[in-house]
Amino acid sequence: MFNGMAIRSISRWEFDGLLRWRRILESFTGWHVEWFANDTGNIIGVVYEGRGEADWSHVMLERDDRGTFRVCAQQIGVASLEDAREQLIHIMGTTEQSRQHCVS
pTM of the predicted structure, to 2 decimals:
0.84
Paired sense of beta strands 31-38 and 7-10, if any: antiparallel
Look at residue 6 and tell me whether its pLDDT is greater than 70: yes
Look at residue 4 and tell me whether its pLDDT is greater than 70: no
Tell me if 65 sits within 8 A of 102, measured CB to CB. no
Tell me if 6 sits within 8 A of 41, measured CB to CB. no
Give the Cβ contact number of residue 75 at 10 Å: 16
Side-chain half-sphere exposure of 3, counting CA atoms within 13 A = 11
Overall average pLDDT of the 29-47 stretch: 87
The domain segmentation of the chain, as residue ranges, is: 7-97
* pLDDT tens digits, one per residue of 66-77: 988 998 999 988
